[in-house]
A = this chain, B = another copy of it.
Amino acid sequence: MRLSTFFLPTLKETPTEAQIVSHRLMLRAGMIRQTSAGIYAWLPLGHRVLKKIEQIVREEQDAAGAQELLMPTIQSAELWKESGRYDDYGKEMLRITDRHDREMLFGPTNEEMITDIFRAFVKSYRQLPLNLYHIQWKFRDEIRPRFGVMRGREFLMKDAYSFDIDAASARRSYQKMFLAYLRTFARMGLKAIPMRADTGPIGGDLSHEFIILAETGESGVFCHKDWLTLDVLQNAPGFDEDLQPFFDTYTSIYAATDEKHEPGNCPVPESDLVSARGIEVGHIFNFGTKYSKPMNAVVAGPGGEPVPVEMGSYGIGVSRLMGAIIEASHDDNGIIWPDAVAPFNVGLVNLKVGDAETDRVCQELYYKLRANGMDVLYDDRDERPGVKFADMDLIGLPWQLVVGPRGLKNGVVELKRRSTGEKQELSVDSALEKLSA
């Protein structure tokens, strides 16, 4: 993509309405625009990141055996009356009356609808286990939306729902999602820690929040220092293996939000305890027959007997994740995208547009990098180098490849790694080779 034609409305000023760094940086980097309170349009740069996050989430759900479908945003109130949540939900539910005066709503979540789909089609334990997910826009009418996409009203969420014939099978479904979540966040370059969460009146140990560490995080967390060095992707078993040992290991290393952490009663010696800040980006939860019983989602068991299915739900805040990633990965100059979710892999900076040799080399690099499968943003604007460097740091692409007449006289271009600031001078061929490795 050529920056001269790319719709990237970066801002020089820091928007005063933004209270947290991710919100400020997303506005300044031209990634989003607020269209109403807590509702955002995703401009091309933001949209690219959103799609990359979504795709990683999807790949891990698929790998775990969950099947993607897509439920609509607008739901009938009838289903929510069946489960008993219609009145409970309060003002956060966006209630709508259609032209025929039917009560509808913009879905804040989908337990009821997926249970309805399930009960319409699944009649036997032989069709289980089943895990269905979708990635769809939700709406929660927050009284005071804030913090940009971290707490918006219209937000993109992945929600999966598992159906099992008994508690043992449900535990296994839960463990698959537990693993998928750890893998998902690790692939995005995040340190995500599962923390025991309340299960409400149902009880049990199958409820975890996934919290990623970020200095500017919304809540305090405590964990054993082993969490900081664990390599999830290295240690992860395959989804078809017995996941109990992995689950046992990862749930036994101490981690707790400050609400749950009891300093006088912590099993970790102070020297091994890390105090940090974090952001919740996912929640997995087994809720047994909470919906299947009132909604009559019953299958025939092995003996023909009717069995209300065991269910769980598994959410990831996809749009929220974008804010969380920025909170976890930025500096004073802007965003530092982890490679896996960066909107482009490389920013190619032409220091002197109009200089024949500089233009020629940039053009060559632009084509060759793309031929090697890289996403390249080519800054071919007629702007001062200072403006270009500032914009590149702001939008935070992992690599910056800087080409100018002075370097070319010596046969070199400059390659900068955004995360470390490390720069090296290389020949054009070496730069190509390094970036395509």
Q: Which residues of A126-145 are within 8 A (CB) of B?
A: 130, 132, 137, 139, 141, 143
Taking a contact as CB atoms under 8 Å apart, the answer to whether A137 and B40 are in contact is no
Among A30, A42, A74, A94, residue most surrounded by chain B Cβ atoms (within 10 Å): A74
A91 within 8 A of B: yes
Q: Which of A63-71, A187-195, A268-276 contacts B (4 or more CB under 8 A)?
A: A63-71
- Nearest B residue to A30 via CB reads B121
Residues from chain B with Cβ under 8 Å of A141 in the complex: 98-99
Q: Which of A31-39, A383-391, A410-418 contacts B (4 or more CB under 8 A)?
A: A31-39
- Nearest CB in chain B: distance from A435 CB, A: 23
- Nearest B residue to A131 via CB reads B7
- Nearest B residue to A136 via CB reads B137
What CA separation (Å) do A216 and B122 show in the bound complex? 33
- Nearest B residue to A62 via CB reads B1
Tally of chain A residues near chain B (CB < 8 A): 52
- Nearest CB in chain B: distance from A174 CB, A: 18
What CA separation (Å) do A113 and B39 show in the bound complex? 12
- Grouping DSSP codes into helix (H, G, I), strand (E, B) and loop, the A interface class, with mixed when no group exceeds half, is mixed
A50 within 8 A of B: yes
Partner of A72, one of B43, B67, B76, B137: B137
Residues from chain B with Cβ under 8 Å of A5 in the complex: 65
A162 within 8 A of B: no
A374 within 8 A of B: no
Partner of A67, one of B6, B75, B104, B139: B6
Q: Which 4 A-B pairs have the closest CB atoms?
A: A9-B121, A42-B70, A36-B76, A41-B71
Taking a contact as CB atoms under 8 Å apart, the answer to whether A47 and B72 are in contact is no
Q: A7-B132, A41-B113, A47-B68 are in contact. List 17 more A-B contacts (CB 8 A).
A: A6-B67, A9-B120, A9-B121, A30-B121, A33-B117, A35-B72, A41-B117, A42-B69, A42-B70, A46-B69, A47-B70, A72-B154, A73-B106, A73-B154, A91-B99, A92-B99, A99-B143
